[in-house]
Amino acid sequence: MQKTKYISSIKYIRNLDFDYIETYSFQRGGKYNERVINDPDFTEFDKLKNKNNLSSPERNRLKTLYKLYGVTQYLIDMDGLFHPSAIKTGTFKKNDSLVIEFIKMMNTKINEIPNWMCAPIYRDAIVFYNSEKTIISTLNICLSCEYMQIEDLIFLNADTTVYELMISFFKKIGHQIE
């Protein structure tokens, strides 16, 4: 059984060798929210699964729907596919002033780690690439619950002020932060 692992934002960003980033917004907005709430298959299959009344095709469909609507969604799933609601909001080279600002933000001394009692809903993400366009790392960010996660069970610890700075950062590049 794997254990939850925590890495400091400082260690993460200092050990990350990348050439450019892409920023994404996902799991937000009217169309996405309507789809989640109004998907008849998801609502019906989710109710029936507890009664073991699903056929094999229905179980497969429910599995697919959980990938889209399950509790914790990541920008990139275990199959390497981007979330269907993902909208790329920018591409920036490592020497761009916004990336330099982000690196500085991630290097903020950790004095107080947020500790909310809610499950994160990742709506913002940053994908780090090398010069060959290979993904080096994906940082999923929940600005509401103040969580960052790079992989299943691998979280980043950052100071509370980092999340305030991130809101400003994402707004600068066009994210619609609630």
Low-confidence ranges of the chain (pLDDT < 50): none
DSSP assignment of 8-72 equals EHHHHHHT---SEEEEEE-S-SHHHHHHHHH-HHHHHHHHHHTTT---HHHHHHHHHHHHHHSSS
Q: What is the pLDDT of residue 52?
A: 67
Residue whose pair of structure tokens reads 């499950």 in the numeric block: 119
What token pair was written down for 148?
Answer: 């960052």
Cross-strand partners of 88? 24
pTM of the model: 0.83
| pLDDT (tens digit per residue) in 54-88 | 778 877 777 777 666 666 789 998 889 898 889 99
* CA distance linking residue 94 with residue 14, whole number of Å: 13
